[in-house]
Amino acid sequence: MGFADIWNKYHGFYIQGAELTIVLAFFTVIFGTIIGLFLSLMKLSKNKILKFIGSAYIEIIRGTPILVQLYIIFYGLDYIGIHLSGIMSGVITLSINSGAYVAEIIRAGINAVDKGQTEASRSLGLTKGATMRYIIIPQALKNILPALGNEFVTIIKESSIVSVIGIAELMYKADTVRGNTFEPFTPLIIAAGIYFVMTFTLSKLVAAFERRLGASDIR
């Protein structure tokens, strides 16, 4: 079967897979960012226990393969009686993994904010928490937006790992088409093209948002 034949017959498969990939990435971005924010604050904390926990989490997650993490969440939790659906396991694993990387991105962004901002806000009577929430983090987010955009693109690509536990996202659908058509390469090329369209579109949206933030700063 040719490229056009496979697309005409199985485009519904690919669209369904792409939709699930986007859903996985969407929730991963939300939860991963929340986890990363808390981890970055823990690592920056003067409390040695919180700092140790945050640092240990980041090092362990970044130092182990995401496939191993997925198996631990999906099979390991089920072994001890915690039964999660495949999609839930995928979102949790991707969020846990992404959170470690987002934490380092946010931490670097916070450290890049001029310390004079903190001193000025504290002199105006703001608490440490209020200073971080209203002064430091908003400025840090502007600084780290390109890096966060790259992480979100990475999440879309890494979501393909959940196909190994039977989640019918884009890569799983591509493998299904390969099995049905006995074509080893063409279904994968189509999947690669769809991944590219999603990541390229996201990159352009992030770039547009970044330019808009830059324009608002100039005004």
Domain spans of the chain?
A: 3-218
Q: Which amino acid is at 147?
A: A
Residue with tokens 């933030």: 213
Q: Name which of 163, 186, 185 is nearest 9 in CA terms.
A: 186
Rounded CA-CA distance 131/152 in Å is 27
Q: Quote the distance between the C-alpha of residue 105 and its chain's center.
A: 12
Residue ranges for the chain with pLDDT beneath 50? none
What pLDDT shows up at residue 214?
66
Residue 98 to residue 61: CA distance in whole angstroms: 9
Give residue 66's pLDDT: 93
CA distances to 83, 129, 142, 157, 200 from 196, in Å:
34, 40, 26, 9, 6
> How far apart, in whole angstroms, are the C-alpha atoms of residue 33 and residue 53?
18
Q: What is the pLDDT of residue 215?
A: 61
Pairwise CA distance, residues 161 & 73, whole Å: 13
Task: Specify the pLDDT at position 128.
Answer: 75
List pLDDT tens digits, range 133-165.
777 877 777 778 878 888 888 899 888 899 988
Per-residue pLDDT at 15: 92
Q: Note whether 170 and 191 are within 8 A (CB).
A: yes
pLDDT of residue 198: 92
What is residue 189's predicted lDDT score, i.e. its pLDDT? 93
Model confidence, pTM: 0.85
CA 42 to chain centre: 20
Going by C-alpha positions, the residue among 208, 191, 106, 105 that lies closest to residue 156 is: 191
Best CATH choice for the domain 3-218 from the list 1.10.10.10, 1.10.3210.10, 1.10.3720.10, 3.30.1330.10: 1.10.3720.10
How far, in Å, CA of 109 to CA of 92, rounded? Answer: 25
